[in-house]
Amino acid sequence: MPMTMYDASVPVFIRGLTNLDALLTKGEEYASANGLDPAELVGARLFPDMLPLSGQIQSASDTAKFCPARLTGTQGPSFADTETTFAELHTRIANTLDYLKTFEPAQFEGSETREVVLKSRRGERQFIGQAYLLGFALPNFFFHVTTAYDILRHKGVPIGKMDYLGG
Amino acid sequence: MPMTMYDASVPVFIRGLTNLDALLTKGEEYASANGLDPAELVGARLFPDMLPLSGQIQSASDTAKFCPARLTGTQGPSFADTETTFAELHTRIANTLDYLKTFEPAQFEGSETREVVLKSRRGERQFIGQAYLLGFALPNFFFHVTTAYDILRHKGVPIGKMDYLGG
């Protein structure tokens, strides 16, 4: 069976978000065991104008939900980006996972060449599906999962590469 | 044309390493403009037992070269991991890019189901090709490119997400 656009998107995001959820749990446990305010960890960042841990989770969630929506020409749920606690971040990930699990491989047929238009403050960017997935969505997703890992690690949480890569 | 194992590996690594090379240049320029010792930036890390910037580049290079070698059942070049300057890190990336550019898409036919065995100090891990690419090699590659970015950003280098994503 050749690899499909579905294979390289939905299950990859599900796996990455599942690992991210476990990393968050290790962060929570570390805060609890070391008398660290959980809010400090949720708000931690690597540089003053970078997104904090909460923003990295929100962005990982957004990348994971926008990608299959765009590739299948459907509309995903809207999340408000108001999470400020570990519990709320776990819920955000759980809601994203629930949404991702609604996709069927057949919905991605032909998505290699589907036109994808990204709208942002900077204007519009046009891609075709495969270039969007491989050159934008996957790098962007792993950027936010890794930066969440890096923030936790920078704050002393005892996690390792195998926690990031998962089972 | 359906997406191939070649599409989702070699060009993705070439693009990521090209962007990483440009990020390094911005780091060098920042060090030079701000009287920062380049060796301090090359040796910077986010936590005492994490790899420094040089180690992140070496690991990104290794992931990018091992993946197509394993998927095609060939042997890649060996690099000594002795880089300590920006010039040497640029050369490491250039050598990795030269090697990646030797691959032809036809070499990846059937690699979805090729058995891949990873040997490490922890023992052996077995994968089939597609699961190795999507669940191990790509996440690992982006981990090291992103962590290099995060180290530079943490040290104040003025880079942004578009530098990471490229063109």
Read off the pLDDT of residues B108-118 as tens digits, 9 standing for 90 and up.
999 999 999 99
**Cβ–Cβ under 8 Å, residues A15 and B135:** yes
Chain B residue with minimum CA distance to A1: B112
Which of B142, B144, B147 to mutate to probe the A interface, most A CBs <10 Å?
B142
Evaluate if residue A120 carries a pLDDT over 90: no
Asked whether the beta carbons of residue B5 and residue A3 sit closer than 8 angstroms, the reply is: yes
H/E run at residue A28? helix A10-33
Mean confidence (pLDDT) of chain B: 96
| Burial state string for B115-132 with b = 16 or more CB within 10 A and e = fewer than 16 | ebeeeeeeeeeebebbbb
pLDDT digits (tens, 9 = 90+) for A138-167: 999 999 999 999 999 999 999 999 999 997
Q: What is the Cα–Cα distance from B155 to B149, expressed in whole angstroms?
A: 10
Chain B residue with minimum CA distance to A49: B153
Q: What is the Cα–Cα distance from B93 to B17, expressed in whole angstroms?
A: 7
Q: Residue B1: its pLDDT value, please?
A: 80
Q: Residue A122: its pLDDT value, please?
A: 80
In this complex, the residue of B2, B135, B164 whose CB is nearest that of residue A143 is B164
pLDDT digits (tens, 9 = 90+) for B139-155: 999 999 999 999 999 99
ipTM summary value: 0.97
Angle between helices B10-33 and B53-72 (to 10 degrees): 170
Which band of pLDDT confidence, cut at 50, 70 and 90, is reported for residue A1? confident
Asked if B154 reaches chain A (Cβ–Cβ under 8 Å), the answer is yes
SS3 of B121, please? coil
Which band of pLDDT confidence, cut at 50, 70 and 90, is reported for residue B80? very high
Asked if A134 reaches chain B (Cβ–Cβ under 8 Å), the answer is yes
Q: Which amino acid is at A109?
A: E
Mean confidence (pLDDT) of chain A: 96
| Among the listed residues A130, A147, A131, A122, the one whose alpha carbon sits nearest the alpha carbon of residue A58 | A147
In this complex, the residue of B1, B134, B166 whose CB is nearest that of residue A8 is B134
